[in-house]
Structure 1
Amino acid sequence: MYVSKPHIGTFKLVTMIEKMRAKILELGGEIRFSTRVDDIHMDNDQITGLTLSNGEEIKTRYVVLAVGHSARDTFEMLHERGVYMEAKPFSVGFRVEHKQSVIDEARFGPNAGNPILGAADYKLVHHCKNGRTVYSFCMCPGGTVVAATSEEGRVVTNGMSQYSRAERNANSAIVVGISPEHDYPGDPLAGIRFQRELESNAYVLGGENYDAPAQKIGDFLKGNDPSALGDVEPSFTPGIKLTDLSKALPDFAIEAIREAIPAFDKKIKGFAGADGLLTGVETRTSSPVCIKRGKDYQSVNLKGFLPAGEGAGYAGGILSAGIDGIKVAEALALAMVEDLAEA
């Protein structure tokens, strides 16, 4: 029981968010649906308000930026307005799918399938000869590979599990760490351009209809032409196109993943099985930018502006983003109290 990780599941998460929204409204909060922040206003390095896409202007001396890591239009707007940010490391790779029974047997042995244990998960890491690190990320027991693109003409994959974790396949991201210094030098938005290049390429490899490019593990490891699917049925919707995935990522990433998968097989028997399926590409492991803030949690060059959570570069998942949100809320309350005291 101690290895069991708290898991809500997508359907239950929807209900939780609805209840959170109701509580915010009950406490006097307001919500703007389908409304983008188009601009920020400032005066002498102090934020003074926002302009929304519906034309509404909101005057305020405090703004918490809690966007996700795919809010590229917002990052670009903030960069143009001079808010200080830096490019940061993230990872790119593929989603890998195995039959859940294979993972259960490797992890639980003769106890595989016991309803008390449920679906098995894993966490893997391998340090490669070329200096790269490959690791599993966002492992989804009994889950599905899902489409996660946010822009036209691009393909991005992600993964999810329902609360039951009862789907036929296990999936996780198998990703390679990259850094702005070595892989995408340039201005703070260089990581976004790097992601877009890979996602546009995946769109082409998938047939330019939002199917995802995919390849069996056996073919990928041997560098063979794509062959027919084996016993792992892909879960990605709308569909996949079997192709040569070595064309989907930079050479250093392909080399690293080809070395890592057999190494993972030594820990999870069957991981390198020929019928396992790789689906590309996974590019949104974390934010490609960090909007720098000081000890007061405010932007280093824009007072009253508080970057928070994963999109701003201060979290790596749901739990850490939530904790960061608590810290930012406390910092905001303290700043407002100090302002009142001065007034």
Structure 2
Amino acid sequence: ETVENFWKNGILDPDSNVQFGEGGAGTFSDGKLNTLVKDTFGRGKEVLSRFVEAGAPSEILYQQKPHLGTDQLVGIVQFMRHQIEEMGGEFRFRSTVTDLMIRDRKLNAVIVNAKEEIPAEICILAPGHSARDTFAMLEKHNINMEPKSFAVGVRVEHPQTMINQDLYGEPENDRLGASSYKVTHTLENGRGVYSFCMCPGGYVVNASSEEGMLAVNGMSYQARDSHNANSAIIVTVNPSDFPEEGVLGGIALQRKLERAAWEAGKGKIPVQLFKDYCTHQKSTRLGDVIPCIKGAYTLTDVRSIFPKEIGDSIEAGIHAFGKKLSGFDRPDALLEGVESRTSSPVRIVREPKKLTSNIEGIYPCGEGAGYAGGITSAAMDGIKVAEAVASVYALPVNKM
């Protein structure tokens, strides 16, 4: 409800938005459930089985690229919450762990909303990749963290019929549905540029979570039936790009780009035609590609958001992809920014076997902690950490 209100009226709730709320950013996505993580221990199969148990269609168990639309994920995540509550779990909405009580390098308690102290020997710390206040709090407690590479860029929109024609040889195919693509290229400057989180028949959404800053993401409904395909076209950045900022330098870079995006669009999603992006000119009118966007948008100069090397890399990458997919670099393709929340810019260091941080009892977990890159891999890491915690409390085995 607060997300729909933000998209409609532009009123941001910093505690309830595309990044923060039930299910987090994964709820507002294309719900891709495939992962490149090797499933040696069957955790991936367990994740998919749990989704089916919660109401997902059973075909996700055998599809090569299973996905769940945002419209399905909302109900599935709610069902999972009810399952946990029935087993004795408790959910605290609009609650933030604002501090930790640590004694002798051991966790003693967590402080919620700066007033409630909850005694705790163990805290599974799975904050998500946009929990910037949490990362700052952890740094204050000297919890080991390190900056990591991530990627930034734009969302690009093309007609879905064009992508279908490129990949199927026909603009529509009822059996195959909306087609998807994945493209990568290594630039002459040594940076990688690639597509990410491709949303067939999807929407670009305003995914902002802080006042005065703007970030975009992509999502699809289960039917994947909008008239556009969109994906992030992103460029790798690494700690050498923000050496003076310390362990939280990646967050500083994200915020800098998001402020520039907010200013470029005066709070609305900035949109630019690719031909104008290439000539460094503000767009003033659309071509044949009409935006599929959740939230207000405005035609402006998207390229002005980026430092020169990143801006140039995006242009070079799109031209390279035009040689692989006909029309990808068409003049009226739409670029929208800024895509800055691709993955966590920080890794919370954990011991390889025990999976604890340098503070006993704290278990970094999932995408925000730097150990996953999507819905399924984050869930698999959650199972892995749960197994590590369970082993601490396992009863000793009586040997004969």
TM class, shorter-length = over 0.9
Pairing of 1:38-49 with structure 2 (within 5 A): 38-49=98-109
Alignment partner, residue 5 of structure 2? none
Measured in 1, the distance between the counterparts of 2:305 and 2:395 equals: 52
Of residues 165, 176, 181, the one that matches 1:105 is 165
Give the 3-state SS of the residue equivalent to 1:187 in structure 2: helix
Percent identity, please.
Answer: 46
Q: Residue type matched to 2:285 in 1?
A: A
Pairing of 1:156-171 with structure 2 (within 5 A): 156-171=215-230
Alignment partner, residue 312 of structure 2? 255
Q: Tell me the CA shift for residue 47 of structure 1.
A: 0.7
Alignment partner, residue 221 of structure 1? 278
Alignment partner, residue 268 of structure 1? 325
Q: Tell me the CA shift for residue 4 of structure 1.
A: 5.2
Q: Deviations over 1:290-327 (max 9, x none)?
A: 00001234334101100000000111111111111110
Given that residues 298 and 304 in structure 1 are in contact (C-alpha distance below 8 angstroms), is that contact kept between their aligned partners in structure 2? no
Alignment partner, residue 96 of structure 1? 156
Give the 3-state SS of the residue equivalent to 2:182 in structure 1: coil
Q: Residue type matched to 1:132 in 2?
A: R
- Unaligned runs of 5+ residues in structure 2 are 1-58
Distance 1:168 1:138, change over 3 A: same
Give the 3-state SS of the residue equivalent to 2:217 in structure 1: strand
Measured in 1, the distance between the counterparts of 2:288 and 2:138 equals: 48
Q: Deviations over 1:167-199 (max 9, x none)?
A: 111000000000012344431111111110110
Pairing of 1:65-214 with structure 2 (within 5 A): 65-110=125-170, 112-207=171-266, 210-214=267-271
Q: Deviations over 1:188-226 (max 9, x none)?
A: 11111111011001111002xx21111101221233442
Alignment partner, residue 34 of structure 1? 94
Given that residues 84 and 299 in structure 1 are in contact (C-alpha distance below 8 angstroms), is that contact kept between their aligned partners in structure 2? no
Of residues 378, 390, 395, the one that matches 1:321 is 378
- Unaligned runs of 5+ residues in structure 1 are none
Given that residues 211 and 237 in structure 1 are in contact (C-alpha distance below 8 angstroms), is that contact kept between their aligned partners in structure 2? no
Distance 1:307 1:338, change over 3 A: farther
Distance 1:150 1:339, change over 3 A: farther
Given that residues 124 and 364 in structure 2 are in contact (C-alpha distance below 8 angstroms), is that contact kept between their aligned partners in structure 1? yes
Measured in 2, the distance between the counterparts of 1:147 and 1:339 equals: 51
Given that residues 203 and 219 in structure 2 are in contact (C-alpha distance below 8 angstroms), is that contact kept between their aligned partners in structure 1? yes
TM-score, normalization: structure 1?
0.94
Pairing of 1:235-250 with structure 2 (within 5 A): 235-250=292-307
Q: Tell me the CA shift for residue 231 of structure 1.
A: 1.2
Given that residues 92 and 176 in structure 1 are in contact (C-alpha distance below 8 angstroms), is that contact kept between their aligned partners in structure 2? yes
Give the 3-state SS of the residue equivalent to 2:246 in structure 1: coil
Give the 3-state SS of the residue equivalent to 2:223 in structure 1: coil
Measured in 2, the distance between the counterparts of 1:151 and 1:276 equals: 28
